[in-house]
Structure 1
Amino acid sequence: MDYEACFAASMIYMALGYAGCASMYGCTYRTKLRGLFGLPEGSIPDGLVHCLCCFCALCQDYRELKNRGADPSLGWEANVEKWNQEGITAPPVAEPGMAR
C-alpha cells in the first residue's frame, strides 16, 4: 500500500477543505473517472455536484470505482494502468429491476 501518496492526498484535501476549495480537488477526479469510462455528465456539472454535496459525490465516485474493481490501496495511476491493461472501459452489467 502506498501510504505516503494516500497521506499526501489526504493532507491536500484537508488543506483545501479548510480553504473552502475541496470540491475543486474532488471534481477533477470525478471528471477523470467520467472521461476514462465514457460516463455521461449529469444535468449538474462535476464541480457543482462536489460543491452541493461533497460527501455524496465522493460516495458515488467510490462506488463507481469499486464496481469496476478498483483497489484504493493502489492509487489512481496504478488503477488506470490496470484497467488499460485489462481493457476495462465498459460499465459493469447490472441485473434489471429491483431484485439485485
Structure 2
Amino acid sequence: MQSSTRQPEYDTGNPTLPMTAPSQWSTGLFGCCKDCYVCCLTCWCYFITFGEIADIVDKGTTSCVVQGAIYLMLSLLSGCECIDSFTYIHTLRRQYNLAEQPCNDFCVNCCCKCCALCQEYRELKHRGFKPSLGWEGNLARHNQGVLLPPVGPVKMKR
C-alpha cells in the first residue's frame, strides 16, 4: 500500500502588496458647467481641447496642433475619433490612478465625447496644468523659480 502524501504548500517569498483603490476624478463626467470656458471650447472646437489634452498626456512627444488635426480628420472622415481619444483617457487614468467611471473608457468616449474631453481638461487643470500652454509651457511655468548657477568662460590650463 502506498501512503498518500500531500505536497506542502510553499511560500514563494514574494510579498503580496495591497492594491490601492483608484482615486476619484476631481469633477464628474457631467460637470461641464464647472468650467464654462472649457465647455464652450469643447462644444465648438473639440479638436482643440483634444490636442491640448494629448500634448500634456503625451508629455510633449506630439504637438497639440498635430493631435488636434488628426482628431478632426478622424471625426470628419470616419466618425471614429473616439478610438483616438480612448487611448488618451486610458493613459490619463493610468498616470493618476483614476477610477473608470461611470462605465469603461471606450463607452464614455463614444457616447459622451464632449463631456469626456471636458472632464479630462478639468482634471489636468486640477492637477496643476494649464493645458492651453502645452507640455513645454507647463514645464517652463513650473521651473520658473529654479535658477541654475551661471557658467563662466572656461579657461584653458597647461
Q: TM-score, normalised by structure 1?
A: 0.67
The code of the aligned residue for 1:59 comes to: C
Q: Corresponding residue for 1:15?
A: 73
Q: Corresponding residue for 1:74?
A: 134
Task: Name which of 87, 94, 98 aligns with 1:28.
Answer: 87
Higher relative helix content: 1
For 2:115, what is the secondary structure of its paired residue?
helix
Which residues of 2 match residues 1-100 of structure 1 at below 5 A?
5-18=63-76, 19-72=78-131, 73-75=133-135
Counterpart Cα distance in 1 of 2:120 and 2:71:
15
Deviation at 1:44, TM superposition (A): 1.1
The code of the aligned residue for 1:9 comes to: Q
Counterpart Cα distance in 2 of 1:63 and 1:43:
17
Deviation string, structure 1 residues 32-86 (Cα, Å, up to 9, x no partner) = 11100111112411011010010000000000010001132223x986xxxxxxx
Root mean square deviation, CA, Å: 2.7
The code of the aligned residue for 2:106 comes to: G
In structure 2, do the counterparts of structure 1 residues 40 and 78 end up closer, same or farther at CA, with 3 Å as the change threshold? farther
Q: TM-score, normalised by structure 2?
A: 0.44
Deviation at 1:30, TM superposition (A): 0.6
Counterpart Cα distance in 1 of 2:99 and 2:109:
16
Q: Unaligned 5+ residue runs, structure 1? A: 80-100
Count of aligned residue pairs for this structure pair: 78
8 Å Cα contact 2:64-2:134 kept in structure 1: no
Q: Unaligned 5+ residue runs, structure 2? A: 1-54, 56-61, 139-158
The code of the aligned residue for 1:45 comes to: N
Instruction: Quote the sequence identity (%).
Output: 42
